[in-house]
Amino acid sequence: MTPIKMVIHREILGTPKNITISKTPSGKYYASIVTEQDVPPQVATVNPEGDKIGLDLGLKEFAITSKGEKFENPRYFQKSLRRLKIRQRRLSRKQKGSSNRNKARVTVAKIHEKVANQRQDYQHKISLKLTSENQRISAESLNIKGMVKNRKLAKQITDVGWGNFLTMLEYKGDIYGCEIHYVDRFFPSSKRCSNCGYIKQDLTLAIREWECRECKSFWDKDINAALNLMLFSESKIPLEEGKSTPDQLVARLEMNRGTGSGQEAPSFA
Ligand SMILES: [Zn+2]
């Protein structure tokens, strides 16, 4: 048997039970090792030092908090698109079964892998920051499947990767003691003035900032939405402004995931 060199990403704890070797399309090998060890049961307690925030997810900015923090949307796929198109064109010109075709195929696969890794790293950083600094995050439950059916936005929405990010928030929330609340997507979080409750019916996607007609508050649309999500989770918004009670609206993602009919256009209510 010839020994194989490997890079160990994490210390191997416990007794290895089985190893799965996988190969990516670009030809990299990964070994995932399942081990067994005795770990005392963990009790996830809410971090009392943390803040309670609202979190608005978007395409212009990836995420905006009710504290006014903005995380840019890096659009990794969009940035690699030109390179990808050139490489894909080259691949399509290579003769089937030739070694040059195989090389070209690996090059294309490597670009896809890089994009996925960049997106993953970025989302790990943000989800770690948010769950370790806060005790509660209120986000809108998104009908991602339904949104992706809108062809104009499908690529951008796939590239931004909200679903994956929310999953990260949930499991990191369990580790750092941060609750993730989901507010029903039909709650008008963008249209509502988070100061006085006035509903701006004519708000469109193109409007980034607006002034409330009633109380004259001047809003960044996304920060205002994040504030509303926070207030709603705090039950500080009167019931009549929503379509159902906070108990019904604020639900864990498990209850919302995959229940959308998938017919509607993106709702940025
Ligand atoms: Zn107002």
Give the model confidence (pLDDT) of 197-246 as tens digits.
899 999 988 899 999 999 999 999 999 999 999 998 887 776 556 544 44
C-alpha 51/C-alpha 70 separation (Å) is: 16
Query: For position 258, what pLDDT does the model report?
Result: 38
pTM of the entire predicted model: 0.76
Q: Looking at 140, 159, 179, 184, which residue is catalytic?
A: 140
Active-site residue, 140 included: yes
**How far is ligand 1, taken at its centre, from the CA of residue 190, in Å?**
12
Determine whether 53 is exposed, middle or buried from the number of CB atoms within 10 Å of its CB (0-12, 13-18, 19+).
buried
pLDDT digits (tens, 9 = 90+) for 31-60: 888 888 876 556 568 888 899 999 999 888
Q: Would you state the pLDDT for residue 63?
A: 95
- Other C-beta atoms lying within 10 Å of the C-beta of residue 95: 8
DSSP for the chain, written as a single string: --------SS---SEEEEEEEEE-TTS-EEEEEEEE---PPP-----TTSEEEEEEE-SSEEEEETTS-EEE---HHHHHHHHHHHHHHHHHHSPTT-HHHHHHHHHHHHHHHHHHHHHHHHHHHHHHHHHHHEEEEEEE---HHHHHTSHHHHHHHHHHTHHHHHHHHHHHHHHHT-EEEEE-TTS-TTTB-TTT--B-TT--TT--EEE-TTT--EEEHHHHHHHHHHHHHTT-S-GGGSSS-HHHHS--HHHHTT-S-S-SPP---
Ligand 1 centroid–CA 255 distance in Å is 32
Token pair 């993106």: residue: 266
Distance in Å, CA 219 to ligand 1 centroid: 9
Residue 184 bears catalytic tag: no
Per-residue pLDDT, 239: 59
User: What pLDDT is stored for residue 194 in this prediction?
Assistant: 93
For residue 42, the model assigns a pLDDT of 60
What is the rounded CA–CA span in Å between residue 183 and residue 255?
A: 11
Question: What angle do the packed helices 99-133 and 162-176 form, to 10 degrees?
Answer: 40
CA of 188 to the centre of ligand 1 (A): 14
Burial code (b: 16+ CB inside 10 Å, e: under 16) for 6-43 equals eeeeeeeeeeeeeeeeeeeeeeeeeeeeeeeeeeeeee
Other Cβ atoms closer than 10 A to 229? 29
Give the active site residue among 159, 170, 184, 222: 222
Query: Cα of 218 to ligand 1 centre, how many Å?
Result: 8
State residue 89 phi and psi, 5-degree precision: -65, -45
Q: Does residue 247 carry a catalytic annotation? A: no
Span from the CA of 192 to the centroid of ligand 1 (angstroms): 8
The parts of the chain modelled with pLDDT lower than 50 are 243-246, 248, 251-269
**What is the CA(140)–ligand 1 centre distance, in A?**
21
Closest among 68, 73, 33, 31 to 53, alpha carbons compared? 68
